[in-house]
Structure 1
Amino acid sequence: MIVQNATPILLLALLAITFLQSGYDKIKDWKGNVEWLKGHFSGTIFGNQVPLALFIILVMEIVSGVFSVAGIIELLTKTESTIGFYGAILSCKTLLMLLFGQRIAKDYDGARTIVIYFVPAILAVYLLG
């Protein structure tokens, strides 16, 4: 089963590592993240909403990461992964939210970086769908 599902397992591992580490970083340094993002989004529609927006992103990242881990476990024990599919979809939604924020902040290099993560996420949706 591992060999047959190697590609989706590796893609879900990438998503799990990406989002769980990012969520952990947000929790560990909440204050620092809020302060940095307030400057990043000053003068935008999110300027006064940074803590709420960061909390929403945090929840999305943790749920995406947990679903991705659960999807790996499901792939290792079954022939399909509905949970992994939903994890990949949530990952795409999370990345689109991050992309939107970067575009609003006019951080085009940051937006470009998010697209790099979006490609494997959408591939996971395709393979698991």
Structure 2
Amino acid sequence: MDHSILTFLQILVGLFFGILFLQSGLDKVFDYDGNKGYINSVFEKTFLKNFSPLLFILITLLEVAAGLLSFGGSVYYFFTQESMLLLLGLQLSAVSLLSLFLGQRIAKDYAGAGGLVAYFLLAAFGILLFAL
């Protein structure tokens, strides 16, 4: 097992996104009505109003998949040095963040969108670590 600093950083970033998106995605699953109501209220004055139920389901699936792949891929990578699952998890994390960013911008929640920038940069950094 290679436990270099690079590998350690890759695993840490993966665990971070695993925790982030498993918590967020599973919160949407277990508090479906509360989260769906919030999403509906966010988009009620936008052109996405009629699509918000579908978008809510899609972002929930995307977050849960990103979380499972990031967390599970980190553990798998630690033991096997096979990084495909972790890299896919980080890529899905970046796509999830872009989706959330787009939604925040459309809803004119500029502060919320700005808060996602650091997460996106970390996801991009995590992906970049695999190019080194």
Q: TM-score range by the shorter chain?
A: over 0.9
Deviations 1:29-81 (A, max 9, x none): 11111111211111212112211101000000011111112221232123340
CA contact (8 A) 1:84 1:128 kept: no
Question: The residue matched to 1:43 in structure 2 has which SS?
Answer: coil
One-letter amino acid matched to 1:65: G
Match of 2:113 in 1: 111
Q: What is the count of residue pairs matched by the alignment?
A: 129
Superposed CA RMSD: 1.3
The aligned counterpart of 1:73 is 75
1:95 deviates by 0.5
- For structure 2, the residue ranges without an aligned partner over 5 or more in a row are none
TM-score (structure 2 length as normaliser): 0.91
Deviates more, 1:10-19 or 1:80-89: 80-89
2: distance between equivalents of 1:74 and 1:90? 17
Instruction: State the AA in 2 paired with 1:42.
Output: E
**What's the counterpart of residue 25 of structure 2?**
23
Q: Tell me the CA shift for residue 109 of structure 1.
A: 0.7
Gaps of 5+ in 1: none
Picking from 62, 65, 77, the partner of 1:63 is 65
TM-score by length of structure 1 reads 0.93
What secondary structure, in the 3-state scheme, does the structure 1 residue paired with 2:49 have?
Answer: coil
Check whether the contact 1:67–1:84 (CA below 8 A) recurs between aligned residues. yes
Match of 2:99 in 1: 97
The one-letter code of the counterpart of 1:6 is: F
Identity over aligned pairs, percent: 36
| DSSP 3-state at the match of 1:48 | helix
Partner of 1:52: 54
